[in-house]
């Protein structure tokens, strides 16, 4: 992921969080699930590197899909209500990881490079996702929420800031506005060092 090609990464990432409820706890849970599935998919993709691409993608989607079902069951075991609420959103994650795998394969030339770049990208994606979810809940309800077995519990700031524009952070169309705002900001931070290196090499 660099300045030039970050948009497909960003859109695939936001696609997962767009439909989730506007509380940080749900975003955090989805992010942990995403991290596990992304890591598994990366290693599985490296293992099946010699296979033709269309068959490999089939295997990856099947494997990550079943892994998602397994993780969803674990979440349901931890808290049935949370499991019921995020039941269909969680199945967007295998699609997103497959997109990331395809995008990263275009960037790398050797297998050894792939592990490094994949996990570097994962680090960036984690930072973006956590700040996105925090910003979203803070903008919507001026609160932060955490997970318990009975569902989520929110810790509210006594004063509800931005009360007039709650709809921006809390509704799905409003989140698109935040996404557009993030898209403007991210190029300022992402892989700044790499671009300097590029300039030096040029």
Partner 1 sequence: MEKKLLIKIEISIAAITVLLFSSFLLAYFIQDNTNKKIIEQLQNIVNNYQENTYIVTEKAPFQTALTSIGNIYIAEKENSEKQSYIALIRIMGISGPVSAVFLYDNNYTSFIDFAGISNARSYKNHGINNSQISYWEKTINDIIISNTTVQGENNE
Task: List interacting residues with partner 1 (CB under 8 A).
Answer: 19-23, 26, 44, 47-48, 50-51, 59, 62-63, 66-67, 69-70, 73-74, 76-77, 79-89, 140-143, 145, 149-156, 160, 166-167, 170-173
Please say which residue, 1 or 71, places its beta carbon nearer to partner 1: 71
CA angle 135, 187, 189 (to 5 degrees): 70
Smallest distance from the beta carbon of 38 to partner 1, in angstroms?
Answer: 16
Please say which residue, 68 or 121, places its beta carbon nearer to partner 1: 68
Please say which residue, 87 or 115, places its beta carbon nearer to partner 1: 87
Smallest distance from the beta carbon of 147 to partner 1, in angstroms?
Answer: 10
Question: Two tokens at 152?
Answer: 């989520």
What angle separates helix 93-107 from helix 24-47, to the nearest 10 degrees? 50
Placement of tokens 């921006």 in the chain? 168
Please say which residue, 74 or 127, places its beta carbon nearer to partner 1: 74
First-to-final CA distance of the chain: 20
186 Cβ contact partners less than 8 Å away, ≥ 6 residues apart: 6, 10, 128
């Amino acid at each position: 992921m660099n300045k030039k090609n970050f948009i497909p990464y960003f859109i695939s990432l936001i696609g997962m969080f767009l439909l989730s409820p506007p509380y940080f706890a749900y975003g955090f849970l989805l992010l942990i699930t995403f991290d596990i599935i992304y890591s598994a998919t990366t290693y599985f993709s490296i293992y099946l590197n010699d296979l033709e691409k269309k068959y490999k993608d089939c295997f990856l989607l099947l494997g990550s899909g079943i892994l998602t079902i397994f993780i969803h069951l674990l979440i349901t075991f931890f808290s049935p209500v949370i499991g019921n609420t995020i039941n269909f959103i969680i199945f967007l994650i295998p699609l997103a990881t497959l997109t990331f795998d395809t995008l990263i394969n275009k960037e790398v030339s050797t297998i050894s490079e792939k592990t490094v770049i994949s996990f570097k990208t994962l680090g960036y994606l984690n930072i973006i996702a956590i700040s996105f979810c925090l910003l979203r809940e803070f903008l919507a309800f001026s609160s932060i929420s955490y997970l318990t077995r009975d569902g989520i519990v929110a810790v509210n700031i006594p004063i509800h800031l931005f009360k007039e524009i709650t709809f921006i952070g809390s509704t799905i169309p409003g989140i698109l506005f935040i996404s557009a705002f993030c898209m403007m900001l991210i190029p300022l931070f992402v892989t700044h060092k790499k671009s300097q290196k590029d300039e030096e090499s040029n």
